[in-house]
Structure 1
Amino acid sequence: MSRITIPFSRKHPHPPRADLSTRARQAMFYTFVYIGTGASLPYMPLWFQAQGLSGSEIGLILAVPLLLRAASGPVIGVWADNFKLYRTPMIWLALAGAIFYALMAASPAFADYRFYGFLVLWTVGYTLTTSVSPLIDAMTFQLAAKEGFAYTFPRAIGSAVFVATNILLGFLLTLMAPDIILVWVVLAGLGISAAAALILQPKSKDDLPDAEAIDTDPRESGAARLKTLLANPTLVWVVVAMGCFQASHSFYYGFSTIIWKGEGYSGTICGYLWAVGVVAEVAYMGLTLNWRRRVGPWRMLILAGVLSVARWGIMALSPPLSVLWFIQALHAFSFAAIYLAGLELVQTLSPRRLGSLAQSLNAAFTTGVMMGLGTLASGAVYDRIGSGGYALMAGLSAAGLLIAVVLYRIQRSAPQLR
């Protein structure tokens, strides 16, 4: 049975050696991106808690920018498509996001309106900085297709840096106040902006693989481009499935560190627990290329979905630390395998000229709307049943798995979907 393959493999079953400078520059930029997410994702809830916010308030602050991605994602994606160079919108998005993060340091001036101040500033800052990720993903996919290197190489470097950031910041939190978290996030945003300007090559969006280049009308409206993508039902349902799988991580991202510290684990242990998951993610990306090609993205989505349901179901039982190390390793499937399969399917099912917009739309729904709904619910669930909230995440994964199974059965009988 034929299957969807990553873009370059259609033309190069054994891809030629890539231009090291391009691959290295992409990897270096991912390093800066994940220095930021390695701090904001697991540790910003602790910073908000240190400011006196409740679990429900933290959940709402984390959820609002995700929910708004239904609008902000497509808008920023269309806006970014108007720039000729890939790097230009990334420079401005990261710089502006860092400024809004920095303004949160003025919280004493908010007085009784501190919660609302955090809500507005975090929403804008997070929206801007996280919009860089789908843009660099699309850029790297396109360049990998043209120059013949695996997308997972620079992405895996970023994940490795995420691990290092988890461990380092977890250690620093045993020595310093939680304010170090906000300082780190602000500096990371500035670093991403500088790296986009100084490290990324001035590659044009017109620099597409010749065999896949598609003529496009520069006068085509953003609404018309969105309509083209949404007219593909297979693409739409893939994004819905991805949304369920990614939203299943919302309780984990928002409250796992708080839960672990509440169970008596130190900041250093919490950092190591996060690190185990990302080490498994890096290993998956770096060591499974041939296996992923043989399995194909559809079947990988199903396998990873089964393991995702298992991961959250066990986490709901509050396993001891000795078991938790092994469960964390399932992050290789619940996140990495699903993430890569989704990127591959979205990129393959979309017109190449709309690659950046397709990935922005995918991110808007999966790590936006669905993750936002999950995070919004997670705050209230944590306040009521604590770690039992992982059971709801298992349910979300089960929904994504069901959609993936149905899509797989359809594509087996429909050659045009393979």
Structure 2
Amino acid sequence: MSRITIPFSRKDPQSPRPDLSTRARQALFYTFVYIGTGASLPYMPLWFQSQGLSGAEIGLILAVPLLLRAVTGPIIGVWADNFRLYRTPMIWLALAGAIFYALMAASPAFGDYKFYGFLVLWTVGYTLTTSVSPLIDAMTFQLAAKEGFAYTFPRAIGSAVFVATNILLGFLLTLLTPDIIWVWVVLAGMGISAAAALILQPKSKDDLPDVDKVAKEGPHESGVVRLKVLLANPTLVWVVVAMGCFQASHSFYYGFSTIIWQGEGYSGTICGYLWAVGVVAEVAYMGLTLNWRRRIGPWRMLVLAGILSVVRWGIMALSPPLSVLWFVQALHAFSFAAIYLAGLELVQTLSPRRLGGLAQSLSAAFTTGVMMGLGTLASGAVYDRIGSGGYGLMAGLSLAGLGIAVWLYLVPSPRALK
């Protein structure tokens, strides 16, 4: 029997693996990642509410780790960039994050300081586990370019698992207490760590396609120099700002949609299906629109999806009936999936290849970090005051992102990249 070596060092040897394609391995790993996010993203607010926290407190807990990504994102990105193998930092990040999630079980011991205990533990755990996503995105994007498979295939598999998790956990919540949410999130973090060690191939960053001598020397640059190289590109910076506005427009949706829907009388099962509709549309977009996306290009897609994002949140601000909600949820294919893929492609295109992983980490730090954090922080107080009317603010954020996207499309500098 061959021995499988778990890559816990920066000089991790390449261990033998069963014969499985790179595309299949990446897809399988995405399933573990989205088993976790399929629980934490829509349902952790419910668990915090079951622990006696108010809407404002929940909003703050959800927002702090996102706001801190302005600092933690670059730090973790530079740290991860120092490892030769893609998978090594993912193992450690997911495992450490699961440990901090598990420590939230000690909440009865927090006493009057329960809120602060949750704040610290969730901030650290969420920061660590969500740092895996930009790293696996960068790895898959690079390997897809090298080995000739579509990046959207493994990513769409992950989204499909997100749907299944939404439905299953929504059903379980009709039978069990909200504590099942916390148990699920802890186990998912451990699963991500194990999957990174046992499923992902020991691919080195030196395996990038068409790497020249200068690119190979890139990792020896200091972290500050690498950051300066990326920030010196104004088009890249503005793309990330636009992406931040679009992603932040989902903050109220992620934080309070389940609570709002249950308050309107919908069961946990219906809530799970509503979440699922959005992600089914996302999967369909990723899996069925490749040729269309190529014809339109990322710049035009960013503008088109931005328009539909404004439409989506504007309708949801009106508290539409369930029959309309199904349609509005399907617009998630554009408000999230289309914008996400266009942004991923633009960030990768506008960045030096050797800095692709760091560029994606910085983009995630700002878009799903700082901007999402500000939106989430505001969402808690807004929900306490105007309930579902908070979607109107999200429409405004999307409108700001759309304005930047239109400007970038029209100015001369990025036109050659369309």
Deviation at 1:375? 0.1
Task: Say if 1:414 and 1:196 are closer, same or farther in 2 by CA, change over 3 A.
Answer: closer
TM-score (norm 2): 0.94
Q: Is the 8 A contact 2:408 2:414 kept in 1?
A: no
State the distance in 2 between where 1:49 and 1:89 align.
33
Say whether residues 1:340 and 2:328 are aligned partners.
Answer: no
Q: Is the 8 A contact 1:65 1:127 kept in 2?
A: yes
Say whether residues 1:64 and 2:64 are aligned partners.
Answer: yes
CA offsets per residue over residues 148-196 of structure 1, 9 Å max, x none? 1000000000000000000000000000000000000000000000000
CA RMSD of superposed structures (Å) = 1.2
Q: Is the 8 A contact 2:25 2:201 kept in 1?
A: yes
Q: Is the 8 A contact 2:219 2:354 kept in 1?
A: no
Paired amino acid for 2:112:
D
Residue 14 of structure 1: aligned partner? none
Deviation at 1:410? 1.2
Residue 92 of structure 1: aligned partner? 92
Q: Is the 8 A contact 1:46 1:258 kept in 2?
A: yes
Residue 255 of structure 2: aligned partner? 254
State the distance in 1 between where 2:167 and 2:84 align.
38
Aligned length: 399
Structural mapping, 1:213-228, within 5 Å: 214-228=215-229
State the distance in 2 between where 1:175 and 1:38 align.
18
State the distance in 2 between where 1:263 and 1:219 align.
56
CA offsets per residue over residues 8-55 of structure 1, 9 Å max, x none? xxxxxxxxxxx9610000000000000000000000000000000000
Residue 4 of structure 2: aligned partner? none
* Greater mean alpha carbon deviation, residues 287-296 or residues 214-223: 214-223
Deviation at 1:215? 3.6
Paired amino acid for 1:26:
Q
Task: Say if 1:298 and 1:113 are closer, same or farther in 2 by CA, change over 3 A.
Answer: same
State the distance in 2 between where 1:208 and 1:202 align.
13
Task: Say if 1:304 and 1:217 are closer, same or farther in 2 by CA, change over 3 A.
Answer: closer
Unaligned runs of 5+ in 2: 1-18
Percent pairwise identity:
89
Task: Say if 1:118 and 1:410 are closer, same or farther in 2 by CA, change over 3 A.
Answer: same
State the distance in 2 between where 1:415 and 1:279 align.
33
Residue 329 of structure 1: aligned partner? 330
State the distance in 2 between where 1:222 and 1:417 align.
27
Unaligned runs of 5+ in 1: 1-18
Structural mapping, 1:90-239, within 5 Å: 90-210=90-210, 214-239=215-240
Structural mapping, 1:288-367, within 5 Å: 288-367=289-368
Paired amino acid for 1:207:
D
Paired amino acid for 1:353:
R
Residue 46 of structure 1: aligned partner? 46
State the distance in 2 between where 1:127 and 1:323 align.
35
State the distance in 2 between where 1:367 and 1:218 align.
25
Paired amino acid for 1:91:
I
Paired amino acid for 2:240:
V
Residue 245 of structure 1: aligned partner? 246
Deviation at 1:210? 1.7
Residue 33 of structure 2: aligned partner? 33
State the distance in 1 between where 2:96 and 2:69 align.
17
Task: Say if 1:110 and 1:211 are closer, same or farther in 2 by CA, change over 3 A.
Answer: closer
State the distance in 1 between where 2:275 and 2:414 align.
40
Task: Say if 1:300 and 1:20 are closer, same or farther in 2 by CA, change over 3 A.
Answer: farther
Secondary structure of 1:175's counterpart equals: coil
Task: Say if 1:410 and 1:116 are closer, same or farther in 2 by CA, change over 3 A.
Answer: same
Q: Is the 8 A contact 2:409 2:415 kept in 1?
A: no
State the distance in 2 between where 1:217 and 1:136 align.
20
TM-score (norm 1): 0.94
CA offsets per residue over residues 268-300 of structure 1, 9 Å max, x none? 000000000000000000000000000000000
CA offsets per residue over residues 310-344 of structure 1, 9 Å max, x none? 00000000000000000000000000000000000
Paired amino acid for 1:84:
R
Paired amino acid for 2:97:
G
Deviation at 1:414? 5.5
Secondary structure of 1:206's counterpart equals: helix
State the distance in 2 between where 1:37 and 1:127 align.
13
State the distance in 2 between where 1:117 and 1:356 align.
32
Residue 281 of structure 1: aligned partner? 282
Q: Is the 8 A contact 1:298 1:404 kept in 2?
A: yes
Residue 15 of structure 1: aligned partner? none
Residue 77 of structure 2: aligned partner? 77
Paired amino acid for 1:68:
L
State the distance in 1 between where 2:41 and 2:205 align.
30
State the distance in 1 between where 2:414 and 2:31 align.
40
Q: Is the 8 A contact 1:212 1:352 kept in 2?
A: no
State the distance in 2 between where 1:37 and 1:368 align.
15
CA offsets per residue over residues 78-132 of structure 1, 9 Å max, x none? 0000000000000000000000000001100000000000000000000000000
State the distance in 2 between where 1:68 and 1:254 align.
18
Paired amino acid for 1:60:
L
